[in-house]
Amino acid sequence: MGASVVLLEGHKMGGDCLNYGCVPSKALIAAGKQAYAMSHTGDLGVKAVKADVDFAAAKDHVRRVIETIEPVDSQERFEGFGVNVIREFGKFISPTEVQAGDTIIQARRFIVATGSGPFVPPIPGLEDVDVYTNENIFDLRTRPEHLIIVGGGPIGMEMAQAHLRLGCKVTVIEGAKAMGKDDPEMAAIVLDSLRAEGVEIIEDAQATKISGSKGAKSKVTVHTPKGDFTGSHLLMAVGRKVNVENLHLDKADVKWGRGGVEVGADLRSVSNKKVYAVGDAAGGLQFTHVAGYHAGVVIRSMLFGLPSKQRTDHIPWATYTDPELVQVGLTEAQAKEKFGGNVEVVRFPYHENDRAIAEGKTTGLIKVMVIKGKPVGASIVGAMAGELIGMWAMAIANKMKMSAIAATVLPYPTISEINKRAAGAYFTPRLFESPMVKRVVGLVQRWLP
């Protein structure tokens, strides 16, 4: 759009998502899903066979996926746009200057988009064992005999199922409740599925100590109040820490904390209006698509001088287990807390969807929270849930009514009909259980020529 832009990157272009997060994890999940499908053909008339998993080859697949996407985020591509790319870490030296290596950049506006990295808590004994995080687990080419995962959130559960399906024994240790930030009813469906496959999930078991040794034949033991759990490899998946500590933000008069840069709804620093923060660095939801959304918010302000603020009520997020679990807007509990008895919760199960029946993927359901005819939240667990949530994200973002979903004609048979049937469930009592509607229909039928 004509602005002069300098991009600083001290590590890998594409950041965490491309190299250590969304992309490699989904590639590994895809390999695990293929292995599972071969040995679990259900009642479709196809004989199941034991998958011959080559763990190193699965990691080759992960690497190929990254390499295929890399050009989109490459230095060459951005330099082709006219961006001045400097491959150095940046740090503020004043409210209007950043230093990257030997280069000092003075600018009218700065965007902090440094993302986050894995948080490794100071558990006693952790320094004595080999510790894996999302930053190095995808480099492991030898299949773990028994993977111990500390942390039962989305990352922990995705990696647990993927590694189990690729031939590993897996134990997940969670200090509170596994998938505790999700709707409990929906999370229970996922956890039941993972346990049925063989993932051992230990809840309310805070890791108090780690013991073991390093090396190829090492063993690691996680000590908890519920007992000790020993495996061959340890993956820490307890959360994320924002990458802002080394930016010298204090020299730029930028307020910050453990959650990132302190920003207003316009994503500008509350203390230095020349500085913006987006994505994880802005201290909110930690998703790649949120960072992309934030980019649109700040571009409107920085390039055109127009008022622009972020909102979060329309942001979806997904956990790519099998079945998938996705959410946009308010959960059932959040909606009831905010709106009390005014909220209506409509539901529709997967096992009544014809395509799900045909595919043998009938585990799951959708719940939509509705206020005065408008959806304020949707929760979906089941096959392709990540694809289904888009309709509800659009509806909430544009303040659409349930009637807009109900009026949409969808091809039959598709999983997406679940969305339409959920909207239909909202109108069912109004159309088929209303005495007033029945009286009106009776009168019309009596007098209609």
Q: Which residues are annotated as a binding site?
A: 26, 90, 114-116, 151-158, 174, 239, 280
Residues making up the chain, counted from first to last: 449
Report the alpha-carbon distance of residue 241 to residue 260 in Å, rounded. 9
Question: Residue 268: what residue type?
Answer: R
Strand ranges of the sheet holding 220-224, from the earlier edge strand across to the other edge? 209-212, 220-224, 227-231
CA distance 392 to 397: 8
Alpha-carbon gap, residue 256 to 279, rounded angstroms:
14
Compute CA distances 387 → 44, 319, 320, whole Å: 24, 12, 11
- Other beta carbons within 10 Å of 420: 18
Which residues, at least 6 apart from 302, have a Cβ–Cβ distance to it below 8 Å? Answer: 3, 109, 111, 276
Residue positions in the annotated binding site for NAD(+)? 151-158, 174, 239
Separation in Å, CA 449 to CA 183, 443, 445, 446:
52, 12, 9, 9
Coarse DSSP helix, strand, coil percentages of the chain, rounded to the nearest 5 percent = 40, 25, 40
Could you tell me which residues come within 8 angstroms of residue 223 by beta carbon, excluding any fewer than 6 positions away? 207, 208, 209, 210, 211
Strand partners, 85: 7
Write the DSSP string, 42-74: TTSS---------HHHHHHHHHHHHHHHGGGG-
Backbone phi, psi, residue 97, to 5°: -135, 140
Residues tagged in the binding site annotation for FAD: 26, 90, 114-116, 280
* DSSP SS3 for 269: strand
Place of tokens 């190829």: 216
> How far is it, in rounded angstroms, from Cα 110 to Cα 248?
14
Residue 98 sits at the vertex; the CA angle it makes with 280 and 74, to the nearest 5 degrees, is: 60
Element (H, E) at 162: helix 154-165
Which H or E element spans position 438? Answer: helix 435-447
